[in-house]
Structures are given as C-alpha cells and as structure tokens.
A = this chain, B = another copy of it.
Amino acid sequence: MENFKLVLPEHLNHYGFLFGGNLLKWVDEIAYIAVTLDYPGCNFVTVGMDKVEFRKSIRGGSILCFVTELGKEGSTSVEYRVKVYKKSIETGERVLAFSTSITFVCVDEKGMKKTLCKGNKPG
C-alpha cells in the first residue's frame, strides 16, 4: 500500500525540519490501516517497533510517500515494514528518508491475543 502526506508548518521543529514525533505518529496510523485492510474482521493493537531509522531530514512543503509491506506472520501477530520516501517535486525521484518495522497483535473484545483471521489473509 502507498499513502501520501504533505508536510505543513504545524509539523516542523524549530530548525524548520519535520519533527520526528509527527513522522512516528503517521507511521503508526498508516501501518494500522494496512493491517486492518489486510485482515478484515480482526482487531489489532501495536505491540512494538524496531529498527526505527531517521535517514534524511525533511523540509516543510515535502510530499512524503509511505510504503507498507507485509513482513513475518506469526499465529497471533504480524509484522509490517514501513518505508517513507521524499518525492522530489522537480524530478519526480524519490529518496528513502525513514524506515522501520512495526508489529501488531490480533486481539479479541477483552484485549486478549487471538489467532489471526487467516481465511481473510490477502493474496
């Protein structure tokens, strides 16, 4: 799944670059959307992130492209890899600015782990 986001002044730090905390918030939202669409009928909670790497600073006015890819799948959990690219408005090229992996667990109404809704797995 690809998703786009515009970086506005309200998202910047006092050096004029994207405040990292905002990027983390968007990554959590977009990965949650990906897992929810991939496993219809399941409820998910985020349990962890790893290898969070801020590779390039990002200016106001940048257009970001978030690419989520399904990673390892356990019996009750599933991992996604999220890459965030800056799109060059001049040339259309994209540069990797951020990456992480994020893990969700499927839960029942009481918040207890339950088996992934495999029948609905994508593909």
Which A residues contact B (CB, under 8 angstroms)? 1-15, 17, 19-22, 24-30, 32-33, 36-37, 40-41, 43, 45-54, 57, 60-61, 63, 87-92, 100, 111
Residues of chain B with a CB closer than 8 A to A49's CB: 24, 49, 52, 100
A-B contact sample (7 more), CB < 8 A, given A1-B4, A15-B43, A24-B49:
A4-B30, A6-B32, A6-B33, A8-B13, A24-B24, A41-B90, A49-B52
Residues of chain B with a CB closer than 8 A to A41's CB: 89-90
Q: How far is the CA of A20 from the CA of B8 in the complex (A)?
A: 12
Q: How far is the CA of A37 from the CA of B10 in the complex (A)?
A: 22
Task: Return 10 A-B CB contacts under 8 Å, by A number.
Answer: A10-B10, A10-B11, A10-B12, A15-B43, A20-B46, A37-B92, A40-B90, A41-B90, A48-B51, A49-B52
